[in-house]
Amino acid sequence: MAREFPQSSEIWHGDNLELLAELPDESFTVIYIDPPFNTGRSQARHVTTAVRSEPGVSGSVGFKGKSYQRIRGELRTYDDTFDDYWTFLEPRLLEAWRLLGPEGTLYVHLDYREAHYAKVMLDAIFGRDSFLNELIWAYDYGAKATRRWPTKHDTILVYVKDPAQYHFDSTAVDREPYMAPGLVTPQKAARGKLPTDVWWHTIVSPTGKEKTGYPTQKPLGILRRIIQASSREGDWILDFFAGSGTTGAAARELGRNFVLIDQNPQAIEVMRRRFGMDPDADSADTVVPPLEDTPATRAAAKPKTPKAPAKPRAKAATAKAPAVKAVKTSAKTSVKAPAKAPTATKKRAARAKVTAQEPPLETEASVVAEQIVAEQVVVEAPETQVAPRPRPVPGPGLRRAVPLPESALAD
């Protein structure tokens, strides 16, 4: 039975393909995903034979008159890894397309081993004119290869649902320091510059307070920027490979609602902790308390324990205030946010402009120490079998020709 659309932000546990099917069309303004590459699946080799579309069938004729089916078949014969990857990701990307509202944007976070595969797939699903950007998240940490250029970046592919309607507000994002501030006016230097499509940002510091312990955790600063630019306050954000819940953490700070999905119980536990929920509570408790209602904020709101009598200055500087006892949250007692299920028109009417000012992203100069592990290892959940289900019927996103890169299609 389809579940009701959440009234406020929630965390869902399970295979995303099954859970996404329960969500209504066009519910989200931003979808961010950071999918695993090595799914660990061994698919039966699947070669789609060429299927030429009937002339005039909308959305089915692609590059050089080849059908989407044919392009897909050709690419999937390229190698087994790609075949596995495509089989896993394609139905989920189709769901992402269905779930995006007309102003919506999809961000797909990838590493260099997979970005090109995913780009071809996304061009085919969304259409080339829906491709907005290829963002490069550049970092610099850990060991460096000496036999090739050390790979120190991730790629985030950005696609919009409708190139004529998508929301994008570059002025809402945090600004960056100029590389050569001496070359601009002091006012400009103080204000910082608008980011480009290359974002320098540290990885999550293993000793910083942002760290959750989840191995593939991405930095909040990256997600903040994405959400600031592509959504407004009150909008709905979805991450269906949620991991430690970074997308939700950024969305929550910025006054957006969210649904986070992950199939790994450890990810659910980490997210529950991160959002001030009881990590061991019944998994039916999915509601994330609003930011004002976390143990930290409640502890801060508690009347302070009276301080010890004043001491001479020198000693007072080292004297510690009595520790404030941590409040354990039960998700059952969490207060639901008043937000309602979205409809595209309702949301648009109620939107307020985001005014939150985020601190600028850190630059290369502040990279974390070299002792950090060399590569972010993609640790994935034990695989669950995905129940076979009918392929989602492509919507009008597949409406147009699919002009794929010539190199990818060379006969």
Ligand X SMILES: C[S@@+](CC[C@H](N)C(=O)[O-])C[C@H]1O[C@@H](n2cnc3c(N)ncnc32)[C@H](O)[C@@H]1O
Q: How far is the CB of 261 from ligand X (least distance, A)?
A: 6
What b-and-e string marks burial along 337-361, b requiring 16 or more CB atoms within 10 Å of the CB?
A: bebeebeeeebbeeeeebeeebeeb
Q: Which is nearer to ligand X, 344 or 381 (CB)?
A: 381
Is there a contact between 32 and 223 (Cβ–Cβ < 8 Å)? yes
Among candidates 100, 44, 50, which has minimal Cα distance to 388? 44
Q: How many residues bind ligand X (CB under 6 A)?
A: 20
If one asks whether residue 90 binds ligand X (CB under 6 A), the answer comes out as no
Contacts for 43 with CB less than 8 Å, ≥ 6 apart: 80, 83, 84, 87
Strands 198-200 and 100-110, sheet pairing: unpaired
Phi and psi at residue 115, in whole multiples of 5°? -55, -40
If one asks whether residue 241 binds ligand X (CB under 6 A), the answer comes out as yes
Question: Could you say which of 26, 95, 114, 262 contacts ligand X (CB under 6 A)?
Answer: 262
If one asks whether residue 217 binds ligand X (CB under 6 A), the answer comes out as yes
Q: At what angle do helices 115-126 and 68-76 cross, to 10 degrees?
A: 170
Q: Quote the CA–CA distance of 33 and 182 in Å, as a whole number.
A: 38
Question: Could you say which of 126, 214, 258, 275 contacts ligand X (CB under 6 A)?
Answer: 214
Instruction: Give the angle subtended at the CA of 274 by the CAs of 207 and 326, to the nearest 5°.
Output: 90
Q: Which residue is nearest to ligand X (CB)?
A: 243
If one asks whether residue 176 binds ligand X (CB under 6 A), the answer comes out as no
Question: Could you say which of 261, 287, 288, 398 contacts ligand X (CB under 6 A)?
Answer: 261
Q: Which is nearer to ligand X, 74 or 358 (CB)?
A: 358
Q: How far is the CB of 154 from ligand X (least distance, A)?
A: 10
Restricting to residues 265-324, name those near ligand X by CB under 6 A: 267
Q: Which stretch binds ligand X (CB under 6 A): 111-119, 188-196, 213-221, 291-299?
A: 213-221
Q: Which is nearer to ligand X, 267 or 367 (CB)?
A: 267
Instruction: Give the angle subtended at the CA of 88 by the CAs of 87 and 92, to the nearest 5°.
Output: 110
Q: How far is the CB of 356 from ligand X (least distance, A)?
A: 20
Evaluated on CA atoms 217, 219, 220, 224, the torsion sign reads negative
Question: Could you say which of 243, 289, 290, 342 contacts ligand X (CB under 6 A)?
Answer: 243
User: Which residues contact ligand X (rule: CB under 6 A)?
Assistant: 15-16, 34, 36, 214, 216-218, 241, 243-244, 246, 261-264, 267, 378, 380-381
